[in-house]
Structure 1
Amino acid sequence: MQSELGQQRLESRSPSVQGNSLRRNKPFMLLLTGYTLSVAGNGFHSIALSLWILETTGSARMMSVVMGIYMISSLLFGAVAGTVADRSNRITLMTTADILRALFTIGVALCIGLSPDSTMIVFALVAFTAISGLFHSPAMQASMVKFAGTEQIQRSTSLVNIMENIARVSGLALGGIAITWFGGVAAILVDGCTFLISALLIFLAGRTLNGANETVVHDEVSESSIEDEQPAAERSKFLSDIWSGILFIKNDPVARAVIILSPSLMLFFTSCLMLIQVVAVKVWQVNPASFGLIEASFPVGYLAGSFLILTLDHRLQRRGWFIFAGIFLLGPTFVLMTFSRHLFLSIGLIFLAGFMFAFATLLVQIMLRLRVKTEMLGRAFGIIGSLTSVVPPGGLAVSAYCADYFGPASTLMVIGVLLSVIGIFTFLFLKPIRDFN
């Protein structure tokens, strides 16, 4: 109880809460910059690793091994990583995870450069990199309240999502250029360097935040001090903490609603994105340039929706209704795509889908941060993240089979209808989401 009260006093007195602008919140901006750099650098790594696998093995099945590594790692270690994030100093955990990711990524570059036949070693290092990233993600998500304050959660979450998408798209684009000019090894080394820079920035963010808290009131202590002073008897065993996280999600109305909604939404939505690509080639018969425009339309729409949420901030009321509308209207949008025969109409519909997807997902993240207890956020994000990363591949496999058997347009239409059904289910039965204001 004492630690919870101390944490609440720290959050209430944090300069991040008192300030009206995130730009003047130095700890948050350091954290955001580090995270953005790591996402951009990861794009370099993704493209370079994919090209190396194809050039070395010539097998698309080997590409699926990498996807399987990330999926299995998330399934096995998601809940563990979330529990560690809740039991540890989150700043230290993020810094350590980034340093480990840097070392493993540099190891991948050395293996590719010095021993091109070391495929299994590369896969092992990729697995270690994926596991390290799992410990970084829930710690980052759970730290947002501490760094931004509850009054700035909507703005900070929107800003993080905007920068993440910009970094991901630009990282992939710049990665392709870097590989062309300097080769894949150099691109992967850049990724390792960005992780090191991210670790340094997050470390500085923690030091700056703790220093600011100490200047607010002399008798307060940092989060790490509060955690260190807890009696040993109050710290449950690790496996018990994992189980308590599962029980919390089962019993907490908000967490339970999100864990029902998010995997279901991602199950169908990722299938729709894949089917759009098939429809574009087989039905719309677009050329490569038009296909590129179609691919860019969704992230641009998502960024536009995120920016609108960021701009509206507290003026956006009845946020649960906007979540429902975003999910429900995705259905008719995908159905209309199956009837479209004009490129610009198709691009506009895909842009609209990305725009609504921002409301369907970003507001859910904001609700989770505001409604779930701080000490359980790591486990909540870890477990939900595991499910949302494991479920989509199954949906992709089923939708791909149906597309071959019934046609991509018909399959896309059916899944679009199912998305609207999920929206109605959310509104009728997931009361915590519907009532989110």
Structure 2
Amino acid sequence: MNSEALVAAKPQEAVPESQSKRLMNNRTFLWIYLGSTLSIMGEGFHSIVVGFWVLSTTGSAKAMMTIMVVQMITSFLLGSVAGTIADRYNRRMIMLGMDIVRGILMVGVAAVVSFGEGQGWWMLIVLLALVGAASQFHNPAFSSSLINIVGKEQIQRATSLMQITDTLARLAGLSLGGAAVAIFGGPTSVIVVSIAFFISAGCVLLSGSFPNPIQQDREKKGFWADLKHGLSYIRGHSIARSVSILLPSIMVFFVASMMVFQVLAVTIWKATPWQFGMLEAIIPIGYATGAGLIAFMGSRITKRGIWVSIAMLLAGPNLMLLSSINDVYFAIPFVFLVGFILSVGTIIVMVMLRTEVDGEYQGRVFGTIGSLSSLATPFGIILSGVFSDLYGADLVLMMNGAGLTLIAAVCIYFLKTLRKYN
């Protein structure tokens, strides 16, 4: 049976009555929500601590770049594999195990920061690659579990709420990480990250068992056969295939533009440190506002494919307008729109995936999209960084906006299932 027929033949999964409870009365969701928030905060916290230690002890940008490249390669190679494992085994136990593993690995990072001196950065390559690998296994297990925890009626609100909190938690982690390094030093700060991962594991443990997706395909397969079957499913499922094309394509330009925007703020707008910090905060504020709007409107949002299309088509022109501005304060509303537009598009797309993709395949779908995005994003950042030095950040941001507009238009035109989704 081909993939299209397989998708068509599968009935919609039944949602247990307990999953329809309001989010604030859903004990499992609340514990997972708390654990995820701590985990995200820990990731932001440790990126600041580790980055500061590497650069201050080695003075080498190449050392930092090496760590980033190794993490990127690890994420790319493991995405689909991790997603397949999330679909084959108990997702709650995967999340629990990966939180514990990350907590232990961060103790190792603290030891390197304490005793590694200037040559210890290479040890971080191995440790942080393993931390990234553990996160790569944790993320699809978490993403594919949410629909079974909250049910279809609450998935849009749950996704929006988690995106708001994740954005704020990441900001808090970055801010607290810088303050902690200044006050307590690197080793103590890394131990705080380790504790955050262990507490996240405790939250998963306290959440109780997760509802499991209904396994429609009873035939036993080997791991690699399951991996190939999952990729075949993505090719055959119009929504999964469309999002797998759209998101990595968009993120190449969008994330790269965030780096160029920072250069523009300093070199063209001559932003002071206070103004630079303000501009950095406005993007997540815009993102949280968009997520809040999606959560507030809930089921009142119809023609969601049109919402995604409009958001993607507005993103490029907004960046192009931003590239032509010469004043920090005049740029504020356009910077706000960067985060707002991104949240409206991506959150609705995530809801589409969690609603339409069969539960037993969601791990492989989220893992594959994460793998493709992890490769596309650094590629865009590197190219934008090189061309910004050569031709100026304003011109590169203009070109990124034009490229994003073109890619969005092409994707929306050809991905009809996505555009017409209700």
Report the TM-score when normalising by structure 1: 0.90
Alpha-carbon shift at residue 340 of structure 1 (Å): 1.5
Shift of 1:317: 1.1
The alpha-carbon deviation at position 5 of structure 1 amounts to 10
Residue 24 (structure 1) aligns with: 25
Cα offset for 1:7?
10
Aligned to 2:352: 367
Equivalent position to 2:193, from 161, 186, 191: 191
1:95, distance to aligned residue in structure 2 (A)? 0.3
Q: How far is the alpha carbon of 1:282 from its aligned partner?
A: 1.8
2:398 to 413, 431, 437: 413
1:269 partner SS: helix
CA shift at 1:36, angstroms? 0.4
Q: Which has the higher mean CA deviation after the structures are superposed, 114-123 or 251-260?
A: 114-123
Q: Provide the residue aligned with 1:159 in structure 2.
A: 161
Query: In structure 2, do the counterparts of structure 1 residues 405 and 182 end up closer, same or farther at CA, with 3 Å as the change threshold?
Result: closer
% identical aligned pairs: 38
User: In 2, Cα distance between the equivalents of 1:339 and 1:374?
Assistant: 45
The residue matched to 1:223 in structure 2 has which SS?
Answer: coil
Matched AA of 2:229: S
The number of aligned residues is 413
Does structure 1 residue 400 correspond to structure 2 residue 401? no
Structure 1 residues 5 and 322: alpha-carbon distance in aligned structure 2, compared to 1, 3 A threshold: closer
Shift of 1:123: 1.9
How far residue 54 of structure 1 moved from its aligned partner, in angstroms, is 1.2
Structure 1 residues 395 and 6: alpha-carbon distance in aligned structure 2, compared to 1, 3 A threshold = closer
| Mapped partners of 1:55, 1:282: distance in 2 | 24
**3-state secondary structure, aligned to 2:34:** helix
| Partners of 2:397 and 2:193 in 1: CA distance | 36
CA contact (8 A) 2:13 2:358 kept: no
Report deviation, 1:111: 2.5
Worse-matched range after superposition: 395-404 or 314-323: 395-404
* Change beyond 3 A, Cα 1:7–1:265: closer
Change (3 A) 1:119 1:367: same
Aligned-pair RMSD on alpha carbons? 2.1
Q: Tell me: CA distance 1:252–1:8, structure 2 relative to 1, closer, same or farther (3 Å).
A: closer
Matched, 1:339 2:324: yes
Whether the 8 Å CA contact 1:16–1:147 is kept in 2: the answer is yes
SS at match of 1:150: coil
Q: CA deviation at 1:199?
A: 0.8
For 1:38, the equivalent position in structure 2 comes to 39
Q: How does 1:273-352 map to 2 (within 5 A)?
A: 273-352=258-337
In the alignment, the residues of structure 2 paired with residue 96 and residue 161 of structure 1 have an alpha-carbon distance, to the nearest angstrom, of 23
CA distance in 2, matches of 1:113, 1:313: 48
Q: Which digits, 9 at most, give the CA deviation of each residue in 1:211-247, with x for residues without a partner?
A: xxxxxxxxxxx639x88xx97xx32111111111111
For structure 1, list consecutive stretches of 5 or more residues without a partner in the other structure. Answer: 210-221
Q: CA deviation at 1:122?
A: 2.5
The structure 1 residue matched to 2:339, chosen from 341, 344, 354, is 354
Which runs of no fewer than 5 residues in structure 2 stay unpaired?
1-5
Q: 2:371 matched to 1:389? A: no
- Contact 2:265-2:328 within 8 A present in 1 as well: no
Aligned-residue offset at 1:58 = 1.0
SS in 2 for 1:281: helix
Pairing partner for 2:16 from 12, 18, 24: 12
Shift of 1:352: 1.0
Letter in 2 for 1:170: A
Deviation at 1:30, TM superposition (A): 0.5
Residue 265 (structure 1) shift: 0.3
Give 1:364's aligned amino acid.
V
Bigger shift: residues 29-38 or 120-129? 120-129
Letter in 2 for 1:35: S
**Alignment correspondent of 2:136:** 134
Most deviating of 55-64 and 339-348: 339-348
Deviations 1:162-183 (A, max 9, x none): 1111100001111111111111
Q: Find the partner of 2:125 among 100, 117, 123.
A: 123
Please identify, of 135-144 and 246-255, the stretch whose mean Cα deviation from structure 2 is larger.
246-255
How far the C-alpha of 1:400 sits from its partner, in A, is 2.5
Counterpart of 1:172? 174
Alpha-carbon distance change, 74 to 282 in structure 1, aligned in 2, over 3 angstroms: same
Contact map agreement 1:83 1:379 (CA 8 A) in 2 = yes
1:55 equivalent in structure 2: 56
For 1:223, the aligned partner's letter is N
Q: Distance in 2 between matches of 1:406 and 1:177?
A: 35
